[in-house]
Amino acid sequence: MRIHRQMILCAGILLYLGSPLQAGSRDKEKIPVEMRDERFRQRWTVVPSYSYSFFNKGRQAWQEERVEIYFQPCRQLVVGAEIDIMQRPPAGTDIYYSGFANWYATKYLELRGKITFSPNPKFSAKQIYSGGIQYQLAPRIAVMLDYDHFNFVQGPIDQLRPGLMLGITENTFFTVRYVRGWAFGNLEYNYYSAALDIGLPGKRRLNLAVAYGTDPNSEAGSNGGYLNTLSPAWTYSAFFTQPITEDLKIFAGVQYVYRLKRTGGELYQQLTPTIGLAWRF
């Protein structure tokens, strides 16, 4: 069995299974949408999604709207663009614009890159540069390594994201990620995640994920402005994908975050339902 690279598309949770800082691809492991079209029939895919975050402790609600567009000019290449509008009161509204590409150099090797910028960030990074590689070691084993560089107003953040994907069956995958990050020249953090992507009858899919650690991108804006400290959190998510036609799927799910103070104890809780669709044409 050959493991195909899958992109998870949903707003506001982890990024590429476990990347705490990805803007959007959020490499968040989320709803799986197959990027590589083996039939090479439809070359375009559009994925709009909407998220709404509820908080306790008197914090204001957040909203996020995202549209991702993928184009496959040939069997070995997928390119795309993304716009991500994040409304995080009291910090305000930031917009991310992204361009990305995934190149399948061989049937076992995938190379990927992404550039993101925010023209006038109130809490987000000014630029994000990401790149990675995925290699299939065996019929049901693939390894991943990604690197991200974030330019925030108060300083840079860099992180490495190794991972391992195991094929349990032809349509079910288990992925684990470890993230090691360095922030603002004097802070270090760790992040751990695991996700189970289950293939169900009727081409339905169920994605379950859990993560623990520091997620600066998720925390940005929570204190009313730029990041100045980092705190860990437990993050749980569940998403379901339902095909409507061969080329149209809808997905919905929820993410729960229990964020901790650096000294221990609850900082706040966050509940984020998300809904979206993926249309290929």
84 inside domain: yes
Cβ–Cβ under 8 Å, residues 36 and 4: yes
- Domain of 276, CATH number, reads 2.40.160.40
> What are φ and ψ of residue 218, in 5° steps?
-70, -30
Q: Look up the pTM and report it.
A: 0.84
Tokens of 76: 């070995």
The predicted pLDDT at position 227 comes to 66
- Residues 6+ positions from 97 with CB-CB distance below 8 Å: 81, 82, 83, 116, 117, 118, 119
Residue 140 structure tokens? 């049901």
pLDDT digits (tens, 9 = 90+) for 33-65: 444 545 556 789 999 999 999 999 889 999 999
- The C-alpha angle 81, 116, 90, rounded to 5 degrees, equals 110
Nearest CA-CA partner of 167 in 193, 146, 143, 139: 139
Cα within 13 Å of Cα(150), Cβ side: 28
255 inside domain: yes
Question: How large a percentage of the chain has pLDDT more than 70?
Answer: 81
Query: Is residue 1 in a domain?
Result: no
pLDDT digits (tens, 9 = 90+) for 122-143: 988 999 999 999 999 998 999 9
Tokens of 126: 């000014």
Q: Name the residue with tokens 């990620």.
A: 177
pLDDT tens per residue, range 220-268: 767 666 666 678 899 999 999 999 999 999 999 999 999 998 777 898 9
DSSP type of residue 15: B
The per-residue pLDDT for 133 is 97
Residue 112 contacts residue 129 (beta carbons within 8 Å): no
Helix (H, G, I), strand (E, B) or coil at 159: strand
Do 278 and 257 meet the contact criterion of CB atoms below 8 Å apart?
A: no
Residues across the chain: 281
> Residue 167 has what pLDDT?
94
Count of C-beta atoms within a 10 Å radius of residue 121? 22
Please state the domain count of the chain.
1
pLDDT band at 186 (very low <50, low <70, confident <90, very high): confident
What token pair was written down for 6? 């899958």
pLDDT of residue 264: 79
Distance CA 51, CA 262 (A): 27
Which of these, 96, 146, 99, lies nearest to 126 by C-alpha position? 96
The amino acid present at 141, given as its one-letter code, is: I
Instruction: Tell me whether residue 47 is in a domain.
Output: yes
87 domain residue, yes or no: yes
Domain residues for the domain of 99 are 6-280
Residue 22 confidence (pLDDT) above 80? no
